[in-house]
């Protein structure tokens, strides 16, 4: 009985190893770089999804996603994206001139950025606001000091977070854009680029974190380090409706749910496009086409 159980366990382990090996090969094989026609098709589908789900996305007050929409609109000179952003701005920004997130959309914003008022935000949001404002008050806080260390994600209980490194990269990139401690920011970006390349090489789950990693390499000037297969897989993960999901099916379970890759490695869910992933996909395609 014990021998039979061991054989079954061994067979399952072997199958898992073969599956993982195949996925790693699929994730790193050599393919042709996607041409501009294919990139433009992907972008147009993504924009169409955002417009189709206009009410849903406008109800989402997530400044970083809307910054991505705004950047995409400017890169493409796209009226649809521009109109979406203006509708968001009227609903969520123009009504509160004291909103610290105004710094994300305006270089000359005078909205106050006070450490005491940001205590309930995730640490990476505070880093975003520091990068956007170069606030001397925020610079003195432990929240910022910790995140300006290259090994932050490994020393502050974020080692299991699949997006800690990309969130840190986003914050440091805002520092670069606003010329805030540029030398330190550049050093951190170089380290984080290496880390993200390693993550993309070994983590073959094409979910939100995967897309975010590719986006941050391109955004930070490391497009040459992006393997063509990673771009191909991002586009293959785009739904027929034009949106991207944070779930990838492995084994279908009926018409809706499936066992698949999720932000928690493997889980039960369904492929359903959302604003979070789609905004990143649209910005990624916009950046690639602009280059």
Q: What does the pLDDT average to over 251-279? A: 79
Taking only the tens place, the pLDDT of each residue in 163-215 is 999 999 999 999 999 998 889 999 999 999 999 999 999 988 899 999 999 99
At residue 8, the pLDDT reads 66
At residue 5, the pLDDT reads 63
Q: What does the pLDDT average to over 5-33? A: 77
* Residue where the block lists tokens 């990838």: 248
125 occurs within a structural domain: yes
Residue 287 token pair? 């950046």
249 occurs within a structural domain: yes
Taking only the tens place, the pLDDT of each residue in 225-255 is 999 999 999 999 999 999 998 877 777 777 7
User: For the whole model, what pTM was predicted?
Assistant: 0.92
10 occurs within a structural domain: no
225 occurs within a structural domain: yes
- Non-local CB neighbours of 250 within 8 Å, separated by 6+ positions: 258, 259, 260, 261, 266
Domain span at residue 224? 31-290
Q: What are the beta bridge partners of residue 259? A: 251, 268
Q: Which of 41-55, 75-89, 167-181, 238-252 has the lowest mean pLDDT?
A: 238-252
At residue 188, the pLDDT reads 97
- Cα-Cα end-to-end distance for the chain: 62
Q: Who has greater pLDDT, 270 or 291?
A: 291
Confidence of residue 6 (pLDDT cuts 50, 70, 90): low
At residue 37, the pLDDT reads 97
185 occurs within a structural domain: yes
- Percentage of the chain with pLDDT > 90? 70
At residue 42, the pLDDT reads 98
- Percentage of the chain with pLDDT > 70? 93
Q: Which of 83-87, 88-92, 268-272 has the lowest mean pLDDT?
A: 268-272
Distance CA 244, CA 240 (A): 9
Task: Provide the number of structural domains found in the chain.
Answer: 1
141 occurs within a structural domain: yes
Distances, alpha carbon 63 to alpha carbons 52, 59, 129, 186, in Å: 20, 12, 11, 24
At residue 269, the pLDDT reads 67
Three-state SS letters, 115-148:
HHHHCCCCHHHHHHHHHHHCCHHHHCCHHHHHHC
Distance CA 127, CA 148 (A): 9
Distance CA 24, CA 79 (A): 40
At residue 260, the pLDDT reads 65
Confidence of residue 9 (pLDDT cuts 50, 70, 90): low
Of 61-75, 144-158, 258-272, which one has max mean pLDDT?
A: 61-75
273 occurs within a structural domain: yes
Q: Strand order in 265-269's β-sheet?
A: 248-253, 257-262, 265-269
15 occurs within a structural domain: no
Q: How high is the mean pLDDT of the chain?
A: 90
């Amino acid at each position: 009985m014990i021998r039979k159980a061991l054989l079954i366990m061994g067979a399952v382990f072997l199958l898992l190893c073969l599956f993982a090996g195949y996925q790693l090969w699929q994730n790193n094989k050599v393919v042709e770089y996607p041409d501009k026609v294919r990139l433009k098709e992907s972008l147009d589908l993504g924009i169409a999804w955002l417009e189709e789900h206009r009410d849903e996305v406008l109800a989402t007050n997530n400044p970083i996603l809307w910054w991505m929409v705004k950047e995409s609109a400017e890169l493409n000179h796209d009226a649809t994206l521009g109109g979406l952003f203006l509708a968001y701005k009227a609903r969520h920004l123009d009504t509160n001139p004291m909103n610290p997130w105004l710094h994300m959309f305006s270089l000359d914003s005078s909205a106050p950025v006070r450490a005491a008022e940001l205590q309930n935000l995730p640490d990476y949001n505070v880093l975003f606001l520091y990068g956007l404002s170069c606030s001397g008050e925020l610079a003195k806080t432990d929240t910022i000091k910790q995140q300006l260390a290259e090994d932050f994600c490994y020393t502050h209980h974020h080692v299991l977070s699949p997006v800690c490194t990309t969130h840190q990269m986003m914050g440091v990139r805002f520092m670069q854009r606003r010329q805030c401690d540029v030398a330190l920011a550049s050093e951190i970006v170089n380290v984080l680029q290496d880390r993200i390349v390693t993550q993309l090489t070994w983590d073959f789950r094409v979910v939100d974190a995967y897309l975010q990693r590719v986006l941050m390499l391109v955004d930070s000037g490391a497009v040459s380090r992006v393997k063509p297969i990673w771009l191909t897989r991002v586009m293959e993960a785009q739904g027929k409706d034009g949106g991207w999901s944070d779930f990838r099916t492995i084994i279908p379970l009926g018409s809706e749910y499936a066992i698949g890759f999720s932000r928690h490695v493997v889980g039960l869910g369904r492929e359903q496009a959302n604003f979070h992933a789609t905004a990143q996909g649209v910005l990624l395609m916009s950046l690639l086409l602009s280059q």
